[in-house]
Structure 1
Amino acid sequence: MTPSPRLVTSLTNPLVKSVRALHQGKTRDETGQFVAEGLKFILEAIDLKRFPEVLLFGPEAASHPLLERARTATLRAGGQVVEVTRDILAKVSRRDNPQAVIGVFRQAFTPLEALKPANATGWVALHRVRDPGNLGTVIRTADAAGCGAVILVGECCDPYSVEAVRATMGSIFALPIVQTDEADFAAWRAGWPGSVVGTLLSATVSHAEADYRRPTLVLLGNEQQGLTPDMAALCDVNVKIPMRGRADSLNLAVSAGIMIYAVTA
């Protein structure tokens, strides 16, 4: 058995305040930390050798049979384990019905040059994506399809924001995340051994009819503007997903999911 954790009941406790502050992008940037919620989420991270630096748990989780595993792994990795009240969990998560376990983890980014195209048949790059829910869903879908990484090009939203992390459902720990600018991405893309495929409303080739050479890198633009001309010019082929009803476009995460499975099938 692990030692009994300390109990914190005050919302003004410095540790509680520091975890709450991770909802702010500036604090995440300064500390390199982020928040993940839920015991299942945290155990998935531990399975992937990502250990909490802080583990908070409330009274509802105190007797959960799997909490001991999370506590032990956190302490062995040098992290803190703290029992807190439900009110603290609600304040930290900014939810009326918070998860009973919350972890603080170290952010991890993979350098662009460290990617090995031969390791997967499908890869995803997003240019200036703005919505954290979309980003988290794309990361989850890319993980489910066995993609090699998600590459964030230009000024994208933060993949380690609470909203994005929630939407990944744990895949934030499973998939390499890359941040790069347009110039470095263009230079790196020049050496890509397979196809680079963009999605473009003005394209004439259907996504189902294009010829994809593996490994295939799917490049999608942001929610409002789609791919810019400069990004579209980096693609070997630009494709469209046919609209057969009244809607003239798809949600970014939905489009990404269709393309990811098209190139990895």
Structure 2
Amino acid sequence: MRKHISGFSNPTVKYLRSLREKKLRKRAGQFLVEGLRLLEDARVSGYVPRTLVMAEGRDPHPLIEGLEREVAGAGGEVITTTPDILSKITGKSNAQSVVGVFDEFDTSLGAVDRSGAKIWLVAQDLRDPGNLGTMLRTGDAVGAGGLILIDDCADPFSAEAVRASMGALFTQKLARARWDDFVPWLRGGETRGGSGQLVAASLRDAVPYRGADYQAPCFIMVGNESQGLPEAYEAECDLRVTMPMKGRADSLNAAVAGAVLAYEVLDKLDA
């Protein structure tokens, strides 16, 4: 189905704008993805938007035309509108010429198959959506199974996190849980591919991160950007490792630390 919208007060425009707000996005169970590159990454990964919104007067592109056919073939809605209205929807003065609306994923722990990958990333109370998106990109780069968000993390379906993931949102399994639910799940996994080794960068009873005894499936955990991991969470870890800090800084950015550790684990498990 294809239609044209020319008015700012159109109910569809108001609904699409509302997806920029976390509370309304959660209520709707949908999120926005802006730009042809991300939409193509989603399509290649098997995700087709429910709604495709395109600016009229845009330059023709075979990928957009193919995407439009897939959306229509899947029973979705294709909308054309003015560039000004598209900017209103995205909240950006220089909005891309195409936007997609996707259903949020199943983010329950029960949907995670830990046997599907040697490495998993875990973030606890991570507040920066850019860091969250970066961790998704890291997971994709090292062949991780996905990212598990613990406690009050940033919204992975926000525009900032989606953009920062550079398409990895669609290649990585995403799960959300409270710590008190995550630990029993992790430790009780004998019937779901085996329990996992929980690893974190730490200064408490830690060993050098290079050459540590990493085991699959390895769950690499990073904490809040400013506070790090709570002491009780670190105590639950099977392995705590430390990274050398040779300058004045006393710590790495949370997402960077996760990436450094993930590549070391990858090297160890692939040896």
Q: Same fold by TM-score, threshold 0.5 exceeded?
A: yes
d(CA) in 2 for partners of 1:264, 1:93: 38
Equivalent runs, 1:1-265 vs 2, <5 Å: 5-59=2-56, 61=58, 63-191=60-188, 193-202=195-204, 204-265=206-267
d(CA) in 2 for partners of 1:31, 1:97: 26
The question of whether the paired residues in 2 share the 8 Å contact of 1:37 and 1:99 is answered with: yes
d(CA) in 2 for partners of 1:226, 1:203: 16
Give the ranges of 4+ consecutive aligned residues of structure 1 lying more than 4 Å apart after TM superposition.
none
d(CA) in 1 for partners of 2:242, 2:138: 19
What are the Cα deviations for residues 150-189 of structure 1, in whole angstroms up to 9, with x where unaligned?
Answer: 1011111110011111111111111110011111111012
**How high is the TM-score relative to the length of structure 2?**
0.91
d(CA) in 2 for partners of 1:64, 1:261: 37
1:201 Cα offset (Å): 4.0
Q: How many residues align?
A: 262
Identity %: 40
Q: Give the 3-state SS of the residue equivalent to 2:19 in structure 1.
A: helix
1:193 Cα offset (Å): 3.6
What are the Cα deviations for residues 58-112 of structure 1, in whole angstroms up to 9, with x where unaligned?
Answer: 1354511221111111111221101111111211122121111100100002431
The question of whether the paired residues in 2 share the 8 Å contact of 1:109 and 1:176 is answered with: no
The question of whether the paired residues in 2 share the 8 Å contact of 1:149 and 1:175 is answered with: yes
Q: Give the 3-state SS of the residue equivalent to 1:23 in structure 2.
A: coil
**How high is the TM-score relative to the length of structure 1?**
0.93
What are the Cα deviations for residues 41-67 of structure 1, in whole angstroms up to 9, with x where unaligned?
Answer: 112212222111111111354511221
Amino acid at match of 2:74: A
Q: Give the 3-state SS of the residue equivalent to 2:94 in structure 1.
A: coil
